Structure 1
Amino acid sequence: MTYDALHVFDWIKARSGDNPVYIWGHSLGTGVATNLVRRLCERETPPDALILESPFTNIREEARSHPFSVIYRYFPGFDWFFLDPITTSGIKFANDENVKYISCSLLILHAEDDPVVPFHLGKKLYNIAATSRSFRDYKVQFIPFHTDLGYRHKYIYRSPELPRILREFLGKSEHEHHQ
């Protein structure tokens, strides 16, 4: 998927002129997004910003925290039967590792009542990114959405505050990126 995403990015970038290009990943797509942006930063062609909505740290922690795993995670052999095959097949989605190599502004959006990707995984990813040397010249921001709003896993887009949040963040990231 990263290979395809790289080609799409290059195609868009070639046609965008001086307009900024942002990468936005949601849920499992945050694994693809961080992998893509890591590769872009390694080749010194980063996007103008990365936005992660409902991200996790890595696929093992997400699978262990996922609601579907509740009845299985305490059985002996849970890791061996469920988690090990995921990682041995090459599926890592290691957001926690990828963010250490990303050099562009990062915005993380997460609802406190997310039942699919627990809020604490998004906050943990933010803490990793915020202390990473790769972000020392870039903005790293975490925006929580309170449980009372009911945005859960996929309704952050309904937030009337989202356009303002994006304007403020992207305005700052564009300024920082072009300094």
Structure 2
Amino acid sequence: MNYATRFIRNLGNPKVDGVKYLTRNFYIQVQKGVRIGVWHTLPHDLSALSKINDKKYERSTFEKAIIDHGHKVVIYCHGAFGYRGNIKSICVANKLASNNCHAIALDYRGFADSSGECDEEGFYDDLKVLYKYIYKLAPGRIYLWGHSMGGAIVTRVAADLGKEKKGPQGILLESCFTSAFDAFIYYPFNTAYRSFTYVYKYAAERTESYSVRMRNDEQILHVTCPITLVHAKDDWIIPFFMTQQLYILAKDSGKKVKMIIFNEELQLGHSDCIRAPEFQNILEHFLELNN
């Protein structure tokens, strides 16, 4: 888990950080002692209209913007080294807003200025509470996008919500692993220990014993909505074959799934699939923007 973002506190002015569209910073109380930080970025046409409103940053303004219009809502879940105000999250917010979608980005407990301690089950609860808040405003219009570790959170929550008949319209899994165990095994900074087989295996097993399982390979079988998988071949953090494995698992179980693997020549690495020339078309297909 990433604890470095705990020192990032100044997230109250998204515009200063590079968000191009009107964005509200707010907090949701998940449970006693756990309050998560959230950014809500308006679609570009609503952003322009709202800028002339004296109450443009009030909760009611943003909630009304979701309720009164048919724009789609995308909740973005960052990876283990991200937070809602880093470059990756801002690029996602700007991309979604430019496509006339609401962009919602959260920091899980223990990340950035969200209170509480990092905890896998807690991460799922954080997303569920946020999702259900948005669901009351926009049922049938919500999509989930998860990057790396965020993809594991998205997959599990989508599976759980599907059982409640309140699942998202689709999920986008970017640069995802099959499980936390597999991610640990192939993490590049652990290569020095691979020659010590027993030590390496013990450390990986301890990762799972501390409830850091994140079994995408299991949870994807229970997802009921369409799935889009994207990964770059030159991802040096999470090998792209893990996305291929997830695709096979989902396809063989009868899921509606699509996979796009980007070539090394594009130099997208672990975090920049959004820069691919064809990503706009992928996003439009994922969000059914032409329907």
Normalised by the size of structure 2, how large is the TM-score? 0.55
Name which of 206, 224, 231 aligns with 1:110.
Answer: 231
- Equivalent runs, 1:62-81 vs 2, <5 Å: 62-75=183-196, 76-80=198-202
Please state how far the C-alpha of 1:77 moved relative to its aligned partner. 2.3
Number of residue equivalences: 168
Name which of 244, 250, 259 aligns with 1:129.
Answer: 250
Question: 2: CA distance between counterparts of 1:131 and 1:63?
Answer: 26
The superposition leaves residues 111-167 of structure 1 with CA deviations (integer Å, 9 ceiling, x where unpaired) of: 01000000111111111111114x2xxx20001111000001011111232111111
Question: 2: CA distance between counterparts of 1:115 and 1:121?
Answer: 12
2:204 maps to 1:83: yes
2:155 maps to 1:34: yes
CA-based RMSD: 1.7
More helix by share: 1
Matched with 1:151 is: 268
Name which of 98, 103, 107 aligns with 2:219.
Answer: 98
Question: 2: CA distance between counterparts of 1:44 and 1:68?
Answer: 41
| 1:93 partner amino acid | M
Question: 1: CA distance between counterparts of 2:193 and 2:139?
Answer: 51
2:166 maps to 1:49: no
Question: 2: CA distance between counterparts of 1:50 and 1:4?
Answer: 17
Question: 1: CA distance between counterparts of 2:160 and 2:139?
Answer: 21
Question: 2: CA distance between counterparts of 1:55 and 1:17?
Answer: 27
Higher RCO (CA < 8 A, seq sep 6+) = 1
Question: 1: CA distance between counterparts of 2:170 and 2:244?
Answer: 19
Larger Rg: 2
Question: 2: CA distance between counterparts of 1:66 and 1:143?
Answer: 22
SS of equivalent to 1:110 = strand
| 1:35 partner amino acid | R
Matched with 2:134 is: 12
Question: 1: CA distance between counterparts of 2:260 and 2:139?
Answer: 30
Deviation above 6 Å: which 4+ runs of structure 1?
A: none
SS of equivalent to 2:165 = coil
Matched with 1:165 is: 282
Question: 1: CA distance between counterparts of 2:150 and 2:193?
Answer: 25
Question: 2: CA distance between counterparts of 1:24 and 1:149?
Answer: 22
- Structure 1: runs of 5+ lacking an equivalent: none
| 1:164 partner amino acid | N
The superposition leaves residues 1-45 of structure 1 with CA deviations (integer Å, 9 ceiling, x where unpaired) of: 111110100111111255x21011001111111111111112121
